[in-house]
Amino acid sequence: MREITILLVEDNLADQELVRGVLEETHFFRYELDVCDRISEAKKLIIEQKPDVILLDLSLPDSSGLRGLEKLQELDIAIPIIILTGLSDPEVGLESINKGAEDYLAKEEINTDHLLAKTISFALERNKLKRELFQAMNNLQKYNEKLKDYSYVITHDLKSPLTNLRSLIGLYHQADDSSLQERIIERISTSVDRLDNMIRSFSNVFLAERDLQKEPEQIDIAQAVTDAQEQLTELIRTTNTRFTTDFSEVSTVSFVPVLFQSILQNLITNSIKYRDAERPPRIEIFTEENENYVIMHFKDNGIGIDLEKHKPRLFRLFNRFSTSKAEGTGVGLYMVKSILDASDGRIDIDSTPGEGTYFKLFFRKEKELAL
């Protein structure tokens, strides 16, 4: 049987005992009950203990009416709140639901036919379904955005080299100079290689999306960085790239290992690819955490990015911000952002041309959605 944590926000001792007594008779679930008598104390308990459900009285020393509900909602929580009141007023009940409460009960009714326990059970189930619906809607929006990206890729990025190939083949048939034909063949070969790389990169995007369905695991960050370096040994050696790392504050993260490796390898490769010719590449990686995220800081001393010019398209598929400085397909940053977005994380960027680029990657600790 499931065990849940219930937070009762009630200042009347008799009503506290009433709720305790009613819950003691329930057979719907096992529970732990915490009680407080003020909204200010409730906020602290919610942050510290994250209860499964909240029973909220509408008349408290530091709030009255639905103001208490509004104050709790300022925390942006996804915890179902059931309003308890001494007044059996349907208007208040409707207004409570409209403002985001999961349900509404008059105290005189809660000891009738296990009504309180049933209401708690139904509220938890409805809240679960709402969160799943919210997640589905969020995923649908992300998929629609990806479809737009893929549509652009098919109609523009992949079409462009094909058009170029068609033109080159036409020129080849028209040329009667063997040396000219050889140069055209070289250009055809280059276009074919480019198209092949783009198709392979496009395939890698779909493979990453498949990997998003895998279960996350606890990853040793230092070992993951070492593994990424080993995969890129020759590139790191030939460019004399040096790393500085510090994972003393946070040493592990819960994530899909193959996707975490993809993130590291794409960022490292990009940093080396867009290095400054005047100095050897230097990459700094360190971690910290807050309540919701493990945060990885990733800095390099490369050529930097003009964010005023490139930021709107920086994370688009096949977008490259410097075609003259480095070869590439422009998939790396798109992959990193897509993986983090789909995992309820995010990526922030700061960059100064001529000095380097600074990424902050946020890995969600718990996939808890606010409604």
Of 24-33, 53-62, 258-267, 329-338, the poorest mean pLDDT is in 329-338
* Secondary-structure percent of the chain, ordered helix, strand, coil, rounded to 5: 50, 20, 30
Structure-block tokens of residue 102 = 């999961």
pLDDT of residue 328: 47
Distance in Å from the first CA to the final CA of the chain: 27
Burial class (CB in 10 A: 0-12, 13-18, 19+), 204: middle
Domain ranges of the chain: 3-132, 158-211, 213-371
* pTM attached to this predicted model: 0.54
* Measured distance CA(105)–CA(83) in Å, rounded: 6
Mean pLDDT of 18-46: 91
pLDDT of residue 204: 64
Q: What is the DSSP letter of 75?
A: T
Which band of pLDDT confidence, cut at 50, 70 and 90, is reported for residue 192? Answer: confident
Structure-block tokens of residue 96 = 């409570």
pLDDT of residue 323: 47
- Give CATH for domain 213-371: 3.30.565.10
Planar angle of CA 46, 51, 54, nearest 5 degrees: 85
Listing DSSP states for 290-345 in one string gives -SSEEEEEEEE-SS---HHHHGGGTTSTT--S-TTT----S-HHHHHHHHHHHTT-
Mean pLDDT of 209-231: 87
Q: Looking at the structure, give the CATH architecture of the domain made up of residues 3-132.
A: 3-Layer(aba) Sandwich (3.40)
Taking 70 as the threshold, does the pLDDT of residue 157 lie above it?
A: no
